[in-house]
Amino acid sequence: MLFDQIGLTPPLLKALKQEGYTTPTPIQHQAIPHALAGKDILGLAQTGTGKTAAFALPILQKLSALASGNGYRYTRALILTPTRELALQISESFASYGRYTGLKHEVIFGGVPQTPQTLALRDGVDVLIATPGRLLDLMNQGYVYLDYLETFVLDEADRMLDMGFIHDVKRIIKILPTQRQTMLFSATMPPQITQLASSLLHQPVRVEVTPVSSTAEKIEQSVYFIPKQHKQSLLVHLLSEKNIQRTLVFTRTKHGADKIAKQLKKANIQADAIHGNKSQAARQNALVNFKRGKLKVLVATDIAARGIDVEALEHVINYDLPDVAETYVHRIGRTGRAGASGTAISFCDGKEEMSNLRSINKLIGLKIPAVEHPFEG
């Protein structure tokens, strides 16, 4: 089954093709046709399974069929997510998939000044991606109206519960129009989420995919405990001393990806960065050069790395450990494909990233072995 066989419109298919996607993941294959038909969805899926596209593509298709025109745009779709990081990732996905739809989306979250966000909302948006606290703040101040909402997505519902946001979520739900399509996604279904789902969803279609928890057996995994300020030196050392040929380096931010690529070039290591702020042409060019062996290192953010499939990729380096443990499995799965061996190396700052490492060890069911390095803390 290909994307062009599940009822998506040409603008979406064109964007997917540019992103290098042709085949839906299991969650996309199961959810998209039902979502396009307007049904409520209960999705049991973790980060890294492709669930964002499972709700983003149907929303974009539905909204673009009845575009807002040039006047004020009423918020017709709301995606509620627990963290700033996930909100930004979802926003990047909407930008990528919706580039030919003419729809407008914005992302709002706490921890930053609200003025740029309220200015962005001034002329209205078709799709709003938000964390619960900031959304309630802006609703109470009169910056956000949801009277015309058609689709509501509650993403990472179990993490909302873990992080103490469930009461905020319930306050938001009370304000939403009762006539709407609702999609709820959660990795697990604790009793409170089961209860919430039954009150929130109307005759939902249940879609479920196997959790991402096991890593490829042939991937050799190791971790270096290294202070953040020495990560760059260690990376250059490993790439030079170990004669590592073609490596995918993961970083948490776009700025970090650019900075690492620039510093590697200074050390005479052929490198480039790909992330959401780069043009499609620049990203494609970097990927082609990497596949052909003209680049030794490709530095990528998680969102930009989706769809990268490079044969005979021997090494993946986690310059920053991901905040979501499943993302680690997704990252290192880029190596060791089709029976080949692979190596996954991670850098862990003992002060800032230990909790991330513990979550990863717990998920994969083993303690990643530590390796000594020449750089003192």
Reported as a pLDDT band with limits 50, 70 and 90, residue 211 is: low
Q: Tell me the helices (H) and strands (E) count for the chain, helix number first.
A: 15, 13
Fold of 219-364: Rossmann fold (3.40.50)
Name the more confident of 330 and 60.
Answer: 60
In CATH terms, 3-208 corresponds, of 3.40.50.300, 3.20.20.80, 3.40.50.1100, 3.30.56.10, to 3.40.50.300
225 strand-pairing partners: 348
pLDDT of residue 177: 96
For the residues 284-294, what does the mean pLDDT come to?
84
How confident is the model over 235-272, as pLDDT tens digits? 999 998 777 778 999 998 888 999 999 999 999 999 99
* Two domains, one topology: 3-208 and 219-364: yes
In the chain, domain spans? 3-208, 219-364
pLDDT of residue 333: 79
pTM of this prediction? 0.62
Letter for the amino acid at 235? L
Name the more confident of 337 and 27.
Answer: 27
**If you search the block for the tokens 């692979």, which residue do you land on?**
342
pLDDT of residue 338: 53
Reported as a pLDDT band with limits 50, 70 and 90, residue 310 is: low
Element at 89 (helix H, strand E): helix 84-97
Residue 177: strand, helix, or coil: coil
Selection from 4-18, 171-185, 358-372 with the highest mean pLDDT:
171-185
How confident is the model over 39-50, as pLDDT tens digits? 999 999 876 678
Residue 372 CA to residue 213 CA, distance in Å, equals 27
H helix intervals, 141-293: 157-162, 166-175, 191-200, 231-241, 254-266, 280-291
Reported as a pLDDT band with limits 50, 70 and 90, residue 135 is: very high
pLDDT greater than 70 at residue 308? no
Write out the two tokens for 202: 């109307």
Backbone angles phi, psi at 232, to 5 degrees: -60, -45
Residue 188 CA to residue 84 CA, distance in Å, equals 21
Measure the N-to-C terminal CA separation of the chain; round to a whole number of Å: 51
H helix intervals, 279-324: 280-291, 302-305
H helix intervals, 128-165: 132-140, 157-162
pLDDT greater than 50 at residue 377? no
